[in-house]
Chain A
Amino acid sequence: MSFLGFVSPEKLREAGVLSMNRRNYEVIARHNRRRLYPLVDDKVKTKQLANDIGLTTPHLIASVSAQYEVKNFLNLVKNYKSFVIKPAHGSGGKGVLVIQSYTQNHFRLPSGRVLRYREVYQHISNILSGLYSLGGRYDTALFEEMVHFSDVFKNYSYQGIPDVRLIIYEGYPVLAMMRLATKESAGRANLHQGAVGVGIDIKTGRAISAVQHNKPVRFHPDTKADLMQLSVPFWKEHLLIAAQGYEMTGLGYLGADIVLDKNKGPMVLELNARPGLAIQIANQCGLRSVLKRVEKDFPRGLSFKERVEYVLSTY
């Protein structure tokens, strides 16, 4: 059956699992044109595109792209009690610093850790010099308003902001998962660092399965909340936002990260032209069979509303 935890390739093929090589060669290379990448790789551009079609995104307080501006950063955020610093070209949550509250010299993170002014200054410098950017190019540091995530998720995440990751294929939202930070993942939403991945039913927004470290779990390891009770409110709005990502970017294979703000509703956090494959594990469902179905059966040329309706009615 399986040897040392390995299974045969046949079994994976039967389960419709999409491999990394096939994702790169057949899915991304065929559906995502290279020149479209900057639209999603640059968070400022993504934000503009989203705002242009009326989608909400976390409010951009300011951006800093030159080293001499860094010393001025406290001035930029002075009207905000909390804020988030992130690289414009970052990926996978790298280089994101959430400041929950601060004084002149002390910056409090959600984990309770307190950074000094020079440490934050250093972090911004690092962003500018390209430490977190794709390909190490010079980057811009963004200062965003903090998302006040919905109380619905309060029990489901250890620090960090729970977000919904959706895979959109040819404009159809096909798979969804929620990433919940744990103590082990240090408040981050990276599955390989020990965050919990919850597969979300694409039609209802309810949890269908959950994994941590590739193993099924029922309860959140830190908050002990029953993960199967998780249900995402405003689910249809989530789907509509995700589906519009296709029109926004023209990318056939797209990942959309959506957060639920308790005042502003669902908003686009970022889009990704190379969404990872861990979502298959969280959903206990292979992506390849799903993509094949979309290619074969789903109609073309529909508007985003029609596509979401199609998914909700037939999927």
Chain B
Amino acid sequence: MRSLLTLITVLVVFWVSNSGMFKPLLLCLGVASIALTAWLTWRLGILGGGKRPISMVRLPRYFAWLAIQVVQSNIDVVRRVWTGRAAISPTVARVPLPALSDAGKVIYANSITLTPGTVAMDVDAPGGTLLVHALSRDGIADLESGEMARRVQGLER
């Protein structure tokens, strides 16, 4: 119940700060969409039980590191696109999935997909691995070095 109220509060603040208008019609639309979102979230049963496995304090540092990785891999993919087929070596591989909470897995898999050049294809593949498609073998090698996995693990308490 408490997390539902938190969700509704956040949604109200978000709606008001984005619309900035207080005409009755728009307020009614706001109430309707917030009610729908809250009902859907409740029905899906995905409201948090109060325990957050990810440290919000360490998250900005991770995002800063991830931003640098995203820029580097963008430059890499741009170079390969302009060079052509000679520069790519498409690879499908299984990389180890470290012990992580569900939230940690989401962050890890989304980080892999967010950096161009690697896409997570299957998360809970048999044997606790992550199926990844990469534009080049280097992308798989980078993941296998495990730095990203270590950093995501560092986010968990």
Query: Does chain A bind chain B?
Result: no
Taking beta carbons and an 8 Å cutoff, which residues of B are in contact with A?
none
Taking beta carbons and an 8 Å cutoff, which residues of A are in contact with B?
none
